Amino acid sequence: MPQTNSNPLTAENTLDWWAIARLVLLVAGAGLVLLPLGVVAVTSFAPANTPVGRGSGWSWQNYRQAWLQGNFLLAFANSTLIAMAVTGGQIVTAALAGYALARLQFRGRQALLLIILATLVIPFQMLVIPIFLVLKWGHLINTYGALILPTIANGFGIFLLRQYFQTIPVELEEAAAIDGANRFQILWRIMLPLARPALTTLFLFTFIGEWNDLFKPLVFTTRPELRTVQLALAEFQEQFTNSWSLLMAAVVIATLPVVLLFLLGQRQFIRGIATTGIKN
């Protein structure tokens, strides 16, 4: 009679064990990443003048005091205005340039794409002197223009949308062209709605980058009414270095908007990142 395999360790059980091991590693990695954030959140609720780790209850007073003393209302308004303006500008410029590089046939297209990609390896700090001189020549120092115009176009956004546009079938554009649509109508009514994941990815990258930017406000502005969130947070840190509860409350206030924004758009963000690498 044929012998039956009495070993309970089958292939399916092996795969289950590997899945459990991966899950444990992922949970451990997530806990390691979230641990500093948890410490910041817990410390922000500690009563004032209480040593860290010896809190006696929870207090929302730190947030109210940090919000008022840091003048975060004006900083939030400035950062939101700047981030939205830069994000809108990058979406427009990236959509137009990305579509041209993906669909239009013209001499020097590949060379232009390589030049755009080469700009990604140049740090913004290396360009600060010529940008400052240009802004000074245009009388834009200490204005919103100095915080918006230097980053209103970006090679990353152009490459991102170019890659995504190439994943969209050309037959859709040909059908629209037969119906009488021109290039701008095809871009607006067909390509951009289909490129929503890539647009969401670009929006999140740009908005979060501008919200967290400290360099431009520090170099191009000196007027207090142009303070952004990060500049207000840096000034707050200088004033309340010894008050960890207030400082952590200010950090949570400055970080919470971008965290919520990422959580709202994470599905489209992941889809956009995964799709843009399919076709070269």
Q: 3-state DSSP: the chain helix, strand, coil percent, rounded to 5?
A: 75, 0, 25
6-56 confidence digits (pLDDT tens): 555 555 555 578 888 888 898 998 889 888 888 888 888 887 666 555 545
Mean pLDDT throughout 125-149?
A: 94
To which residue do tokens 């607006």 refer?
Answer: 188
Q: What is the mean pLDDT of the chain?
A: 86
- Compute the half-sphere exposure of residue 212: CA atoms within 13 Å on the CB side of its CA: 13
Q: Which of 45-59, 69-83, 256-270 has the highest mean pLDDT?
A: 69-83
- Stretch (H or E) spanning 112: helix 109-118
Mean pLDDT throughout 60-84?
A: 92
Distance between start and end Cα atoms, the chain: 58
Residue 129 to residue 56: CA distance in whole angstroms: 51
Residue 276 to residue 259: CA distance in whole angstroms: 23
Residue 203 to residue 153: CA distance in whole angstroms: 13
How high is the pLDDT of residue 47? 77
Cβ contact 203:91 at 8 Å:
yes
92-114 confidence digits (pLDDT tens): 999 999 999 999 988 999 999 99
Q: In a 3-state reduction of DSSP, which class is residue 187?
A: helix
pLDDT above 90: percentage of residues in the chain: 52
Residue 77 to residue 226: CA distance in whole angstroms: 10
Mean pLDDT throughout 153-175?
A: 92
How high is the pLDDT of residue 274? 67
pTM: 0.84
How high is the pLDDT of residue 61? 86
Q: Is residue 133 predicted with pLDDT exceeding 60?
A: yes
pLDDT above 70: percentage of residues in the chain: 88
How high is the pLDDT of residue 10? 52
Mean pLDDT throughout 76-89?
A: 96
Residue 132 to residue 207: CA distance in whole angstroms: 22
Mean pLDDT throughout 176-184?
A: 90
222-239 confidence digits (pLDDT tens): 999 999 999 999 988 887
| Ordered structural domains, the chain, with CATH | 61-275 (1.10.3720.10)
Q: Is residue 152 predicted with pLDDT exceeding 60?
A: yes
How high is the pLDDT of residue 278? 47
Cβ contact 158:101 at 8 Å:
yes
Cβ contact 199:192 at 8 Å:
yes
CB neighbour class for 96 (10 Å; exposed up to 12, middle 13-18, buried from 19)? middle
Residue 53 to residue 180: CA distance in whole angstroms: 69
Q: In a 3-state reduction of DSSP, which class is residue 263?
A: helix
Q: Is residue 280 predicted with pLDDT exceeding 50?
A: no
Q: Cα angle at 217 between 214 and 219, to 5 degrees?
A: 100
Of 254, 250, 270, 150, nearest in space to 205 by CA: 270
Q: Is residue 158 predicted with pLDDT exceeding 90?
A: yes
Of 209, 115, 97, nearest in space to 164 by CA: 97
Mean pLDDT throughout 212-217?
A: 93
Q: Which one is predicted more confidently, 42 or 81?
A: 81
Residue 53 to residue 43: CA distance in whole angstroms: 8
Cβ-proximal residues to 176 (8 Å cutoff; 6+ apart), any chain: 185, 186, 189, 190
